[in-house]
Amino acid sequence: MARPVRLGFIGVGIRGTLLMEAASGISGVEIVAAADCYKGHLDRAGELITPAPQTTGDYKALLARPDVDAVVIATPDHWHLPMTRDALAAGKHVYVEKPMTHSWEEGEAFIAAVEKSGKLLQVGSQYMSMGCAAQARDLIKGGRLGQVTLVEGKIHRNSSTGAWYYPIPPDASPSTVDFESFLGSAPARDFDLRRFFQWRLFWDYSGGLPTDLFVHLITATHMLMGVQEPDSVVSMGGIYHWKNYREVPDQMTSMVSYPEGFVLRLTSTAENAHPGPILTFYGTEGTMEYNGGSLKLFTEPRTESFGYSVHSWPKATTEQFRRLMNLKEDLTPLDGPTAADPVEVKSSDEDSTRAHMRNWIEAIRGNGQPIEDVRFGHHAALVGHMCNVSHRAGGKTVRWNKAARKVEV
């Protein structure tokens, strides 16, 4: 029997706890250690995992443990690169939550660190492992939609927690929160529990909507369309409703152009949660509404009707045209295509977070490569960062120079 894969978790807050629970349900995985800057998170890890992992406030102490084979990094974004570098240098495989990077400039440093280490890195966007992802990709690749020229993606919310005003634990204080360690390389600040527990509101630690929510849509689009790098991005947005001490927009709309010949339109708002597909793919022969675990495929036959365009012609000329074009009395083609009923597919596969982590675990065991490697993760985050660069430059068009590997405004 193969030796268990022994995991350490760096950051066991909201997302880290969910990842830890997902990993605990995978056969042959042991959770041996957890690190966090808030004591309450570490106490909760001990309540959820049996046997309870060893806990520490120092992630480097976790990396020094010989009984840790691989680490899961689910910290604020500004810590992803230094922690990943340290973990790889310590000989650990890495699962790093999305967005992989805190700025687009970090992408090449990630790639260099992974390639130097020879270890496996999985970027944690579970939209790569959704139940209907492979089927949706095959439908597009097989031509069922025809030529896809527009993809529309949206993730909307309408609550204070959806706008990242997460509640602050009543026991949080300088005695339970290591604020200095949380800051790391970020600018020095006075002790502030809002920055610690609501870090997504601040540019020092987060990229806001584009790198937290858009990145899911970007990741799924890149996988399903078989692309990675954009041409250009333009964004508009602002702080319109949730204005209390936040720095990042609560609504943004971006347009991303790809050299393969389509546009990705992205929107997210924290002021309205109207349901609908997270992604819609518009093709010349079909439309696909995609939600990760389900999809709905509509045929879109190209039917001509000339009534409107020849209404100004004399009757005799119109009749002559109808005979020449072999049209029906209503001026539509005799042999025109007909629309079929929509096809709906729902997946019964396992939870996508667990499936994504299982893919990484299987790669560590020698069964292939992670589904979302460092380059894919870099390019998905890159588009989100370009959205922010455009927004912060007043809506200017931002371009990706593929040869120079840099963003240009």
One domain for residues 239 and 110: no
Q: Which domain holds residue 213?
A: 132-181+197-300+340-348+382-408
One domain for residues 20 and 43: yes
Domain assignment present for residue 244? The answer is yes
Report pLDDT digits (tens) over 240-249.
Answer: 999 999 999 9
Enter the pTM of the model. 0.94
Domain assignment present for residue 211? The answer is yes
Instruction: State how many domains the chain has.
Output: 2
Q: Percentage of the chain with pLDDT > 70?
A: 99
Rounded to the nearest integer, the mean pLDDT of the chain is 96
One domain for residues 121 and 29: yes
Domain assignment present for residue 57? The answer is yes
- What is the Cα–Cα distance from 171 to 166, expressed in whole angstroms? 15
One domain for residues 136 and 46: no
One domain for residues 281 and 395: yes
Model confidence band, residue 269 (pLDDT cutoffs 50, 70, 90): very high
One domain for residues 43 and 97: yes
Domain containing residue 402: CATH number:
3.30.360.10
Domain assignment present for residue 247? The answer is yes
| pLDDT over threshold 80, residue 7 | yes
One domain for residues 80 and 205: no
Which residue in 255, 200, 209, 201 sits closest to 233, CA to CA? 255
- What is the Cα–Cα distance from 311 to 324, expressed in whole angstroms? 17
One domain for residues 138 and 255: yes
Summarize the confidence of residues 263-288 as an average pLDDT: 95
| pLDDT over threshold 80, residue 54 | yes
Domain assignment present for residue 102? The answer is yes
- What is the Cα–Cα distance from 360 to 375, expressed in whole angstroms? 15
- What is the Cα–Cα distance from 123 to 371, expressed in whole angstroms? 9
Read off φ and ψ for residue 233, nearest 5 degrees.
-140, 145
Report pLDDT digits (tens) over 38-47.
Answer: 999 999 999 9
Domain containing residue 365: CATH number:
3.40.50.720
